[in-house]
Chains A and B, each alone.
Chain A
Amino acid sequence: MATEVHEGRVTSRASMRLVGALLGFPGLGWLLAFLVLPVGGLAVLAFARRGAYGSVDWTFSLENLRRIAGWGLFGWSSDHLEILLRSGVFAVVTTIACLALALPMAFWICDRGRTARLALMALVTVPSCINLVVRTYAWMLLLGAQSPPVRLARWIGVLGAEQAMYPGWTAVLLGMVSCMLPFAILPLYASAERLDWSIVEAARDLHAGAWRTFRHGVLPQIVPGLVAAVVLTAIPSLGMFVVSDLLGGSRTMLVGNLVQQQFGSASDWPFGAMAGLVLIAGSLVSLWILLRHAGSSSRDTGKAP
């Protein structure tokens, strides 16, 4: 039997695995029963067809794959590709905006006294206890043409008399950043708090400018937090449609709308499953790329993520 050292004890790999399996079994079994198998079932559903009145016709067909690629009843169109592309851009822009605010916020909070730090971190999570729709609706009221903030903006001259921020992409971005920001701050703060400032000082001693100090002294140390922040903001933004519909006047479609529409008004569950699987696949692939890239960039500095 192969013996190795685990947790400072000489033991066999098999016995470690046995204990690991026993500890992990309830959780893994749960995930398997209620998540992996059902989602696997959807992968089968994606290759079925819509029957009469929105029932499922269980005959195998590649039709949905063709459809998502753009071949529809009216011939080929770039609609689906545009929807996917737009969702991607939407997620990237939201994530960048969130990071641009969350990064300074994380360091700003770290810089406070212990009590203030604690209170600020708790405050950041406060908005999550109010429902997303209620918060988004509040933005709608705030940005409406007759609201005091918009009137003030008109009076100052920031907005023209006919101009409104809502509905429009400015409103969507405000709403998205507002609802995703806590998820970017939390992991970044955890990283920033454990930062080894001696490396930053060493960089300064070597006459590095502000940017180079950040790039080589700070950035490699916060990669794990950065990755977590990107995952927690980008992935939900990719499937998001409530905020964009309420604040953007639902002019256009995102992939979240497409999936929702299939399970909703179109009652075409097989195509909905296919569109959803494409979304999952897209998320997993971008995650994989991100993790690989993050792994290699933090290896550069010799520090494990």
Chain B
Amino acid sequence: MSRRVPAYARILSWAGMALLFIPLLAVAISSVNSDRHGLRWAGATLEWYRKLSHDASILEAAWNTLVVASLSTLVSTLLGTLLAISLHRTPWPRSVRRLFDGAILLPVVTPDILFAVALVGAFGVLRQFSSIWEPGYLTLVVGHATFQISFVVLVVRARLAAIGPEQMEAARDLYASTWQGWRRVLLPQIGSSILAGALLAFTLSLDDFVISFFTSGPGSATLPIAIYASVRRGLSPVIHALSTVLLCATLVAILAASAWSGLENDYRRGARMARWGLAGGALALVAALGTFAFFGWQSRHQNASSAQHKAVTVLMYSEYIDPAMVEEFEKTTGMPLRIEVYEAQEEMVAKLQAGGDALYDVVVASDVIVRQLAGLGLVSPLDRARIPNLANVSPRFLAPPFDPQNKWSTPYLWGTTGILYRGSQDPDSLRWSDLLSEHPRFGRYVLMDEGRTMLALALQALGRSPNSTVPSDLREATALLQKAKARRGCAGFDGSVGGANKVAGSLVDAAVVFNGDALSRMEEDSTLHYGVPLEGSVVWLDNMLITSRAPNRLGAHLFIDWILRADKGAQLANFVRYPTPNQASLPLITPEDLADRSVYPDSLTLRRMEFLSDPGNASRLYDEAWTAVKAH
């Protein structure tokens, strides 16, 4: 052959392959690493695989992912292929053709989030006519198929265009009808491209997060939703284990298929084998997911058969409740408890707006969000008579400024915001200026990637109220953060978990984090400390609220009252390692946690802390200030 790929091209190709496969290798290694955060090697273990086989919610998510991807791929391949054929053979005027081309390119150029919001709007209109458009399987499949169609059309049409008109004309000359010409001449040639389009569509559906999150309802959450929710706490090794299983299944299928087709020498049979090989790869992926899915379906089935009473569905952060409590709740009340997860507060609000307020019963929301949820009519007032255990809550957390009569919310857990650092400094003499001033005391540091909180902390560093709505205050806070960010020591912004991980991994010396995340790192490393700066800080309180159209209001009240029991409050706090707002639970908290001032700060520190409130109409001020901090 005269093609002769030059040496530099061969080197580049191997580099490219390395870029593709090195992260996959790292995923496989993390899945057998016993270190929860994967930052260092802590010995081999199969623990995560064992956990995976028992994790009903991930297995159920795998089942949902498979069902949705298969159905939507089926729909989109059929519609997309027909559309591609239609566009290929129909002599539309140029302007009409351009219009169609534009419509097909639209999903490719539309950002996911915008597309998701557009779909939410469309489903909202359709819900007026029929309740089948409530978020669930149907909306998921329709949403996925909509962006898949374009990709199928693009792939199939490219192949059709390459064939040219001569073949059909030749078939005609041999007295083939139009149908015969398509059936015998063209369709066999585009078969592999239809398969390629379907495969592309399938993988796109497997990977989609944003559209899935906004269009799914309780019980139809997919794997990417579980994965994104888990990122907040540092990606769980269970996810790595699952990814490794999928990876191995696909690799084995590909190797088997290519070994099989390697035995064939005849070109045509080879081409057929190629198609079979691709189909085999897809099949193996389906089989792997299917195996998980079967277990998922089984556990779902068991849930369904035990559900003599109506379930209570709760929407919260992932890993925010002891899994043992889920079973206990069902034993106590006879009502199954379903935990659904979200990644960020704002996404949860959007999900409730997308019709979720009629599907979930209880939602766990942070302080700033409570007024917004009430203002948007997404939550309903509590029936206080059904929550006698509210009396257990410490007076400090009763009637918080964002809900002065506890009309909408009851406390769940609370915590502080401070600095996690490595070094010998006294946690009691910390100041925000240690991070933000011209001469920071920490060499390298990260700030919190959370606009409202970080601006509030900067305001406190300047001696202003963290809830200030005075433009000049915010301008000063913005300038302070911009300068801090521009300094050499600043390693950027990160979420609380990411920041804590960076300190634990010695990537930086200090980070702005929530106390719970600090605590889990301090246990592993005694040179780490956490403190709340003297200028004051932000105290946060997560709350339980009942949605406005909750399907099980009775169960929702039961759940809230149950969580506020002395023993349950302690069980929750001991598992999650955040302080409990439940006074009656305090005697049951582990003594080490109770004595640890980074979990339960002393009253002097608490006096320096303030709740954040919803800035109301000034929220645009905070938004623009944050954009200004981040933009440069």
Contacts and interface: CB of A to CB of B under 8 A. Distances in A.
Nearest to A256: B111
A138 B23 contact: yes
A134 B79 contact: no
A111 B22 contact: no
Contact of B24 (A126, A166, A264, A284): A126
B491 interface: yes
A137 B235 contact: yes
Nearest to B100: A28
Interface in A88-123: 100-102, 104-105, 107-111, 114-116, 118-119, 122-123
A110 B1 CA distance: 12
Contacts of B108: 231, 235
A102 B16 contact: yes
A107 B8 CA distance: 12
B82 A35 contact: no
B43 interface: no
Contacts of A82: 631-632
B149 interface: yes
Nearest to A107: B5
B216 to A, nearest CB: 16
Contacts of A259: 111, 113-114
A118 B273 CA distance: 10
Nearest to A260: B113
A90 B235 CA distance: 26
B379 to A, nearest CB: 12
A93 B146 CA distance: 30
A224 interface: yes
Contacts of A155: none
B628 A74 contact: yes
Interface string B91-131: 11000000010111111111111110111011000000000
B109 A235 contact: yes
Nearest to B143: A34
A220 interface: no
Nearest to B199: A125
Contacts of A266: 619-620, 622-623
B255 A131 contact: no
B324 interface: no
Of B90, B115, B209, which is in contact with the most chain A CB atoms at under 10 Å from its CB? B90
B614 interface: yes
Given A28-B103, A111-B3, A249-B491, A265 B23 contact: no
Contacts of B26: 138-139, 141-142
B376 A55 contact: yes
Given A54-B349, A166-B507, A249-B491, A284 B91 contact: no
B576 interface: no
Nearest to B614: A53
A283 B109 CA distance: 6
A7 B117 CA distance: 42
Interface residues of A, number: 132
Nearest to A50: B620
B45 interface: no
Interface string A9-39: 1000100110111111011101111111111
B22 A142 contact: yes
B248 to A, nearest CB: 10
B604 interface: no
A8 interface: yes
B12 interface: yes
Of A110, A137, A164, A182, which is in contact with the most chain B CB atoms at under 10 Å from its CB? A137
Contacts of A199: none
A19 B471 CA distance: 63
A128 B113 contact: no
Contacts of A107: 3, 5, 9
B178 A79 contact: no
Interface string B504-533: 011100000000000000000000000000
A126 B82 contact: no
Contacts of A201: 2
A20 B89 contact: yes
A53 B143 CA distance: 27
Interface in A169-186: 174, 177-178, 181-182, 185
Nearest to A283: B109
Contact of A138 (B30, B39, B83): B30
Given A30-B79, A129-B203, A261 B626 contact: yes
Contacts of B620: 50, 73, 266, 268
A244 B284 CA distance: 32
Of B10, B23, B110, B493, which is in contact with the most chain A CB atoms at under 10 Å from its CB? B23
Contact of B90 (A17, A123, A279): A17
Given A101-B19, A129-B250, A264-B346, A34 B206 contact: no
Given A107-B3, A261-B626, A174 B19 contact: yes
A109 B614 CA distance: 57
A27 B149 contact: yes
A83 B224 CA distance: 28
A59 interface: no
Interface in B119-176: 119, 121-122, 142-143, 145-146, 149-150, 153-154, 158, 162, 165, 168-173
B404 interface: no
Contacts of A36: 103, 106
Contact of A126 (B169, B223, B251): B251
B628 A77 contact: yes
B106 A134 contact: no
Given A126-B250, A178-B20, A164 B507 contact: yes
A79 B111 contact: no
Contacts of A129: 203, 206, 246-247, 250, 285
A104 B24 contact: no
Contact of A24 (B82, B113, B121, B247): B82
Contacts of A258: 627
Contacts of A177: 19
A217 interface: no
Contact of B492 (A22, A32, A251): A251
A31 B376 contact: no
B261 interface: yes
Nearest to A53: B375
Contacts of A20: 86-87, 89-90, 92
Contacts of A109: 13
A96 to B, nearest CB: 13
B254 A126 contact: yes
Contacts of A37: 122
A30 B188 CA distance: 26
A66 to B, nearest CB: 13
Given A17-B90, A131-B243, 15 more contacts: A20-B92, A34-B122, A38-B121, A100-B12, A107-B5, A115-B262, A119-B254, A122-B281, A124-B20, A135-B23, A164-B507, A167-B491, A250-B492, A252-B631, A253-B630
25 contacts: A7-B172, A17-B92, A24-B86, A24-B90, A30-B79, A31-B103, A35-B115, A74-B625, A105-B17, A108-B13, A115-B262, A116-B258, A118-B258, A118-B261, A122-B257, A126-B250, A137-B235, A142-B22, A164-B507, A178-B19, A181-B20, A231-B108, A250-B630, A267-B346, A267-B619
Sorted nearest first, the 9 A-B pairs with minimum C-beta distance are A20-B90, A249-B492, A8-B172, A27-B83, A24-B86, A53-B375, A38-B118, A104-B9, A8-B169
Interface of B: 1-3, 5, 8-10, 12-13, 15-17, 19-24, 26-27, 30, 38-41, 79-80, 82-83, 85-87, 89-92, 100, 102-115, 117-119, 121-122, 142-143, 145-146, 149-150, 153-154, 158, 162, 165, 168-173, 178, 181, 199, 203, 206-207, 209, 223-224, 227-228, 231, 235, 239-240, 243, 246-247, 250-251, 254-255, 257-258, 261-262, 270, 274, 277-278, 281, 285, 344, 346-347, 349-350, 371-372, 375-376, 446, 449-452, 471, 475, 478, 485, 490-494, 505-507, 614, 616-617, 619-628, 630-632
